[in-house]
Structure 1
């Protein structure tokens, strides 16, 4: 996975039970298409089942039909391979792994917005 593919699909927060039971990267957007959150899950449906996601209440307050969950189906191992091949390998050896991954997500957010 050298480039991220196009989105595989999307559902509103109210429709989250229709998410596929597959691994992927998910993007939470508001009705103005503003990116609110990015995450990854081994099973998208399980991650958003009920109200168990740690940000569910925050997003639900904005409106169940106003929050959009877009996703890309990919295995977590493919995502990690891409990250280490593309980003982490190019960082100085002194960069802690956790900061590198946080930097990756920040860079990814900027690329999505810009």
Structure 2
């Protein structure tokens, strides 16, 4: 998968925006202003494509144990975030999309009822 495919997939989700809140090299996707995916662009430029995704803590540990391409979140809370390496990864594209879905769903699940209703508008 390339960065445009992943970017378009993230943007296809309800109420998602893309921003650069930290620097010009970290593309962040948010749902109602809550982060669910980070793309460190300098890694993509250097052939080390990865994305940071939010994850249920128990599932995060399982994923890290099962997949060499999934490690604790780089520059993130290691309990709740994973770095998922895309380049030369053993992960299938459909599985990567499922991980994005899981991250999005985790963020939505943590929102207030009012914010969750806003998603349905």
TM-score in terms of structure 1 length: 0.27
Q: Choose between structure 1 and 2 for higher RCO, CA contacts under 8 A separated by at least 6 residues.
A: 1
Structure with a larger share of its residues in strand? 2
Report which of the two structures shows the higher radius of gyration computed on alpha carbons: 1
TM-score in terms of structure 2 length: 0.26
